[in-house]
Structure 1
């Protein structure tokens, strides 16, 4: 009887002592002009966010100049709040690593380090601890990209700083072909999961079935420390003659409720345009797929991830910091998601 009691106590202690994750909630800032908007700063205060992930620029290949160049770099009209650290993010278009060599990637690393350093000072900061590189690398660009990351680490301006990368679902599942980036930490991007360009009523932003396929049997064994990014954005995907025609920034959900202009297909997320809509650049017969993420979706995603992520300390980042998006979620909605981790 005593042996059974000891066994029960040991089991209870083991369960109670299971490591609990420490979660630091924050946001991405993905606009081209930073303004210290009071309502957005209030969100940072509410969640006690110590840092903000700020997109500094995209980098793409310029065919005329035959080199990688900055695209739409951010402007800082206001400095960041003094209590909030900046984590700069640089998005690299994958094609810049096609047909490149070590000399070119070394030059790219130097230019990025220099550009980011200047932008940090424009943001009113003297230093930063982490630089995040966002790139959806492939099997064919893997070696060049990983070489770039190694060269980035060796930049004098980045001495002592942590280099992190973004990680897509397919790179977790196909780790043998995708490889492990030579960094200490990665951000698991839990959005843009489906085929955006495929005609139909699927939600390409967030799909729990896709997460199950790509993560269930692979996430727990991924060797890098992982932060997590979750979506709170929405968009209107346009199809013309059942072919992808882009994302409209001129449409919102309330406009789709105009029954004189749009007809919803049953309870689906597809809307038929009944007449030309020049103000939105649309033509009669175009189909709009309205994609959004609900609080229920986020909670289910966090429940799924909490089962397979290794416990530890991590950042939980919502994409992205914008009042019009955040108003769809209550503080309690997001706190439940945070608590799940």
Structure 2
């Protein structure tokens, strides 16, 4: 196994010929802002001076926009990095919204970002990043919103870019921003019956991004996954996710090993905060350094020099990884 791993690394290295060093940093995607010593150390070594920090989500219920899971802050959240406020907006929030609603939403987001920045004494840069899985049906209003947020805030507005939005750009459109963040993960649904790694399947990604070099926005940063999870399958072949599981978590006397990344539960009990019955299966999906190297090598042939933002900063995901 060690020989095979070394051979894979050698093949990737040769295929990339001279390796480019990419400046990197992280996303921080927890509601309560706090950093343990491992996270602080890893963040301090990151070569990009920013930490992309989720401030809140926006959803729409009963016709009204609502902020969801707004951040709180612990005193341990201290860093020399500048914070880039990041806001997730559900796609359904963008369906059939009026010009007045667009103005209201942009103003409200800007004011809430300012409020949280001042309340917690955060050092932010001149950027607000919007994360939305917009579609052909919401593109026009979403793009109007991005322009309005730029006007209201006076900030540089950037946004995330998903794989299907690259592949189907003629349908989903190109956002009115100067910089996008390409999300190189979630290549399929973890709740489907599939042998593919739903976090990152390189073949799927390469298919979607085969014409990436033709994308009209030339400033593209790259978001890569370092997270993991477990997919639990019950007797009816229904699935649920347990976040942050790794292969190491599968080492349990209550489990029978099926493969390197899958076990069957042989004893009813509480595992990882969930009651799981005998016969249930747990499959872990995690991302190897070789997978990340493969994707990075592919992207280097498609777009010029890019920064990498790893998703996400958590001691569970960064403690045993070299950046």
Q: Secondary structure at the match of 1:69?
A: strand
Is 1:199–1:244's contact at 8 Å kept on the other side of the alignment? no
Deviation at 1:243, TM superposition (A): 4.1
**Cα deviation 1:259-296 (Å, max 9, x = unaligned):** x42233345x3332223234523223322221000111
Give unmatched runs, 5+ long, in structure 2: 1-18
Q: Does 1:263 align with 2:256?
A: yes
Separation (CA, whole Å) in 1 of partners of 2:136 and 2:256: 43
When the two chains are superposed, the root-mean-square deviation of aligned CA atoms in Å is 2.2
Give the aligned partner of residue 87 of structure 1: 84
Greater shift, 284-293 or 169-178, is seen at: 284-293
In the alignment, does 2:56 pair up with 1:57? Answer: yes
Shift of the 41–97 alpha-carbon distance from structure 1 to 2, 3 Å rule, reads same
Matched residue of 2:307: which SS?
strand
Give the Å deviation of 1:231: 0.6
**Structure 1 equivalent of residue 266 of structure 2:** 274
Distance in 1 (CA, whole Å) between partners of 2:176 and 2:184 is 21
In the TM superposition, 1:275-314 aligns within 5 A as 275-279=267-271, 280-309=274-303, 311-312=304-305, 314=306
C-alpha contact 1:172 1:222 (8 A) present in aligned 2: yes
Measure how far apart 1:62 and its partner are. 2.2
TM-score by length of 2: 0.86
Residues 208-287 of structure 1: matches in 2 within 5 Å? 208-216=202-210, 218-224=211-217, 225-241=219-235, 243-249=237-243, 252-258=246-252, 260-267=253-260, 269-279=261-271, 280-287=274-281
Is it true that 1:142 corresponds to 2:139 in the alignment? Answer: yes
State the partner residue of 2:69.
72
What does residue 13 of structure 2 align with?
none
Cross-structure match for 2:11: none
Q: Distance in 2 between matches of 1:104 and 1:72?
A: 21
Structure 1 residues 56, 95: closer, same or farther in 2, change over 3 A? same
Q: What CA distance in whole angstroms lies between the structure 2 residues aligned with 1:147 and 1:242?
A: 45
Check if 1:168 corresponds to 2:162: yes
Q: Could you tell me which residue of structure 1 aligns to residue 102 of structure 2? A: 105
C-alpha separation between the residues in 1 aligned to 2:175 and 2:238? 32
Residue 38 of structure 2 is matched in structure 1 by 39
- Of structures 1 and 2, the larger Rg is shown by 1
CA shift for structure 1 position 118: 1.2
2: CA distance, partners of 1:143 / 1:241? 44
In 2: Cα distance, 1:39 partner to 1:247 partner:
25
Deviation at 1:321, TM superposition (A): 0.8
CA distance in 2, matches of 1:289, 1:246: 11
| Structure 2: distance between partners of 1:109 and 1:297 | 38
- 2:38·2:319 contact (CA, 8 Å) conserved in 1? no
How far apart, in 1, do the equivalents of 2:39 and 2:157 lie? Answer: 27
Structure 1 residue 117 and structure 2 residue 114: aligned? yes
Compute the displacement of 1:315 (Å): 2.7
Is the Cα contact below 8 Å between 1:29 and 1:52 reproduced in 2? yes
Residue 9 of structure 1: aligned partner: none
